[in-house]
């Protein structure tokens, strides 16, 4: 059971409306931790909030886009009267699948702002409060994409690599103050976003994780930072970290192409 004395009485889940985010919400509610759920889509957000309230906790919701100029200010205002013991940054699936040099730089900037800028702002704000209290946790939800460069999502992959290295440094900084930091690295996970993208999940040898399983892993391993690779993908992460880089990158590129629907190839 998650320790409410360490990670409560409130948790903030950015990207907390569906998929892995909803699973985090359900598990935190089962542990008796109140929730602030943040997501763009009001209807899934409302549904997840109702499911969490039915488990006996208080829930506040913020239907907002983290790319909005006032997003961080609104989050700070909505939580200023709360004692937040856990931040889960699960937002950031905006991969933008286009080649960099022929793509739209504004869209590229959006990928960076969502996956890096918003994440840093929330970790900075809530991390300082947790450090002062001498307890708490920060979980950044990452991706196997961050272990090597990939065509058409090169900026997204780079942003996820940034997140992992940042988590390692933040873990070192906050560890002496009783604050746990974990980068939870996901592989292919059966989420609504993945299904909407039309990605194939029936390839031989592909490890496909379920949202509730990776949420459980993340919460169980929160104190075991700085990085945990979920869904049985640790060996894949190790292979992607090796050399020679050209061979690894080409091989991963060909494998990832098989995941795409035929129309996207």
Structure tokens at 96: 């933008």
Nearest to 23, CA basis, from 213, 196, 230: 213
> What distance in Å separates the CA atoms of residue 232 and residue 209, rounded to the nearest whole number?
8
Residue 96 annotated as catalytic: no
**Known catalytic residue: 160?**
yes
Provide DSSP, 130-180: HHHHT-EEEEEEEEGGGGS--TT-HHHHHHHHHHHHHHHHHHHHHGGGTEE
Q: Which of 7, 147, 160, 265 is catalytic?
A: 160
d(CA 100, CA 154): 7
Report CA-CA distances (Å) from 178 to 27, 54, 85, 150, 212: 22, 31, 11, 36, 27
CB 236 within 8 A of CB 188: no
The structure tokens 């919400």 sit at 25
Cis peptide before 233 (omega within 30 of 0): no
Report the chain's C-alpha Rg in angstroms. Answer: 18
Instruction: Look at residue 4 and give its three-state secondary structure.
Output: helix
SS3 helix, strand, coil % of the chain, rounded to 5?
A: 50, 15, 35
**Catalytic residue, candidates 96, 147, 156, 265:** 156
DSSP count for the chain of H helices, then E strands: 11, 7
Active site residues: 156, 160
């Amino acid at each position: 059971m998650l320790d409410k004395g360490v990670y409560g009485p409130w948790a903030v889940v950015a990207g907390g409306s569906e998929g892995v985010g909803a699973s985090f919400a359900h598990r935190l509610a089962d542990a008796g931790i109140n929730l602030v759920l943040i997501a763009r889509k009001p209807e899934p957000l409302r549904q997840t909030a109702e499911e969490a309230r039915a488990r006996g906790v208080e829930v506040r919701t913020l239907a907002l886009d983290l790319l909005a100029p006032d997003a961080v200010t609104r989050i700070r205002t909505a939580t200023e009267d709360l004692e937040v013991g856990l931040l889960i940054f699960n937002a950031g699936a905006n991969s933008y699948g286009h080649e960099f040099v022929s793509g739209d730089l504004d869209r590229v900037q959006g990928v960076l702002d969502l996956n890096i800028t918003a994440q840093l702002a929330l970790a900075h704000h809530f991390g300082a409060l947790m450090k002062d209290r001498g307890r708490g946790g920060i979980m950044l939800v990452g991706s196997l994409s961050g272990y090597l460069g990939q065509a058409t999502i090169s900026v997204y992959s780079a942003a996820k690599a940034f997140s992992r290295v940042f988590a390692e440094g933040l873990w070192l900084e906050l560890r002496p103050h009783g604050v746990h930091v974990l980068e939870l690295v996901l592989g292919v996970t059966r989420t609504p976003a993945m299904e909407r993208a039309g990605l194939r999940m029936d390839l031989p040898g592909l490890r496909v994780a379920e949202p509730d399983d990776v949420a459980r892993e993340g919460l169980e391993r929160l104190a075991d930072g700085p990085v945990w690779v979920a869904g049985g993908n640790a060996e894949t992460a190790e292979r992607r970290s090796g050399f020679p880089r050209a061979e690894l990158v080409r091989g991963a590129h060909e494998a990832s192409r098989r995941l795409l629907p035929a129309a996207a190839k």
